[in-house]
Amino acid sequence: MLLRYRLCSAAKHVPDIVKGFHDTREFKELPARVSEIKKHLQNARQSLENNKKAVDKSGDDCLQQLKCFRDKLTAMIDRLEKQTVTEIKKGKSSVCMKIQADVDNIDDVIERLHKLTDDLNAAGENNEATSYIGCIKVDDVIWKAKVLLKEINNKDHYTMSFQHFTGITENLSSLEVLGVVICEGGEKPLPGPDRAFYVDKHVPHNVKVADDEEICNIQGICRLTSGEFILSDNFNSKLKLLDISYKVISTCDVPQYPDAVCLIGEREAAVAIDNKDEDRHEIHIFRVRSRRLLKTRTIKLQHDCTGIDHQSGDLYIATGTSLHVYNISGAQDRQLYSDQTEEYTVSRCAVSADGSRIFITNQTNHQLITLNKDGTKLSTITHLDLQDPVAVHVTPLGHLFVSCFRLGTVVQVVGMKDGKQTVKSLAGQKEGLNEPIAVFYNSSNNTLVVGQYENDNIVEIQLKP
């Protein structure tokens, strides 16, 4: 044993150190400290138990809402209801397991405190060495209890709710579940759109496949609710389906030249096809089934289509010089905005989650323009870091990102809520970017996915608030 301490300058026996320890303030105040930390732990445990009961009840409420909604539908619901019930139960079980894990951790700390304090009491006043060692152990458990309490207090209470899909009766045959099970809480939410992000790290992912005849040119990116990504490869005239680790799992040939792509349903996407040489201007609708991309229909347009986004059943189409809105069937065309002064004054578009704001890139004049839902111009941003803007993407929480082709950067527009908008260069050459032309925010892991011109790699950029 002494060999373990041969590097120490001096060594003292524990009995010499602990003489009079029972008379110290540290030892006398120990029961009160234990009592206080146990009280905090019990309060936290009760709060978690209450939250667990609330989640359990709200999960049951979700099932009841599902049943009421189910009564209005036809026999086609049977298959969908079974799958949706499974999703709700999985969500409830997952949340309850997370809460129970915290409860178990609290119980473990309380049990250890009980045992250690019982050992101290059993030692009595005649064994100061045992009391001293026991006190050190209790201090260590108290410190761990404080860390545990801090971790628990930094989490929001979990909630569950059920949201059925709008327009479900019209699209019933193409759906796989009746709604989205939303389990909120746990980690704190991301900051609002007035807060800037910073780059933590970046990872390139090669998306070239064996039968690609050209170098990749990723013009569009969107993500399914199940986690897979759809890319439009302009030069190879393909859509590419990627799994959650960014591995290409299937492809689908499309006419020249696929441009922007957007999600229009849980497992449906729309891609803009624009070929001036063939006078082909179309929107192709695809559905993902069994890890394959299946084309379901085509919407033919009478104008160019360089950009596309979807919100609440409407398709927003950028033509290069104007912005049009169609319903999901491709009818009821109306022009929201136009700038015919030059080419590429309306290159791409993005629509906020509530549909109140529409963002368009004026690539020719190096501008980001904000419209309201009626097409009225609300603001025009020009900035030295906003050169040759192409793709624009707005997150569900309102964070706004723009890819700048000429500078080889992705920028964030900060201050969307308070109106004091500023442009912050977020990522560039050191993050592996070179002529970015597509950008998408993955809310599941707080990353940007960037597609590039004449480049086989997309770049995954991990962000931090």
Residue 417 has pLDDT above 60, yes or no: no
Mean pLDDT along residues 179-207: 82
At position 443, the amino acid (one-letter code) is S
Residue 26 has pLDDT above 80, yes or no: no
Closest residue by Cα to residue 442 from 240, 224, 292: 224
At residue 185 the predicted structure's pLDDT band, cuts being 50, 70 and 90, is: confident
d(CA 49, CA 67): 27
Q: Which of 64-68, 146-150, 181-185, 282-286 has the lowest mean pLDDT?
A: 181-185
Residue 349 near residue 329 (C-beta atoms within 8 A): no
Tokens at 25, concatenated: 């303030």
Closest residue by Cα to residue 257 from 109, 437, 117, 45: 437
**Of the spans 21-25, 51-55, 187-191, 284-288, which averages the highest pLDDT?**
284-288
Return the pLDDT at 14: 66
Tokens at 294, concatenated: 């299946």
At position 281, the amino acid (one-letter code) is H
Residue 318 has pLDDT above 90, yes or no: yes
**Of the spans 56-65, 80-89, 266-275, which averages the highest pLDDT?**
266-275
SS3 245: coil
Which tops the pLDDT comparison, 111 or 168?
A: 111
For the chain, what percent of residues have pLDDT higher than 70?
90
Mean pLDDT along residues 289-310: 94
Mean pLDDT along residues 66-75: 74
Contact residues for 139 (Cβ-Cβ < 8 A; gap 6+): none
Could you read off the pLDDT of 197-233 as tens digits, one per residue?
Answer: 999 999 999 999 999 999 999 999 999 988 899 999 9
Domain ranges across the chain: 13-186, 198-464
Return the pLDDT at 1: 35
Return the pLDDT at 2: 35
For the chain, what percent of residues have pLDDT higher than 90?
52
pTM equals 0.62
CATH code assigned to 13-186: 1.20.120
Query: Sheet containing 280-289: which strands, arranged edge to edge?
Result: 258-265, 268-275, 280-289, 292-300
Residue 377 has pLDDT above 90, yes or no: yes
Return the pLDDT at 174: 62
Return the pLDDT at 173: 65
d(CA 392, CA 437): 9
Question: What is the residue-averaged pLDDT of the chain?
Answer: 87
Return the pLDDT at 5: 37
Query: Sheet containing 389-394: which strands, arranged edge to edge?
Result: 389-394, 400-404, 409-414, 422-427
Mean pLDDT along residues 86-107: 89
Residue 11 has pLDDT above 70, yes or no: no
SS3 315: strand
SS3 72: coil
Query: Sheet containing 349-351: which strands, arranged edge to edge?
Result: 349-351, 357-362, 367-372, 377-382
Which CATH superfamily is 198-464 part of?
Answer: TolB, C-terminal domain (2.120.10.30)
At residue 7 the predicted structure's pLDDT band, cuts being 50, 70 and 90, is: very low
Residue 357 has pLDDT above 90, yes or no: yes
Tokens 């050209």, residue located = 214
At position 306, the amino acid (one-letter code) is T
Residue 64 near residue 147 (C-beta atoms within 8 A): no
Residue 81 near residue 70 (C-beta atoms within 8 A): yes
Could you read off the pLDDT of 33-59 as tens digits, one per residue?
Answer: 788 888 889 988 998 999 989 888 888
At residue 387 the predicted structure's pLDDT band, cuts being 50, 70 and 90, is: very high
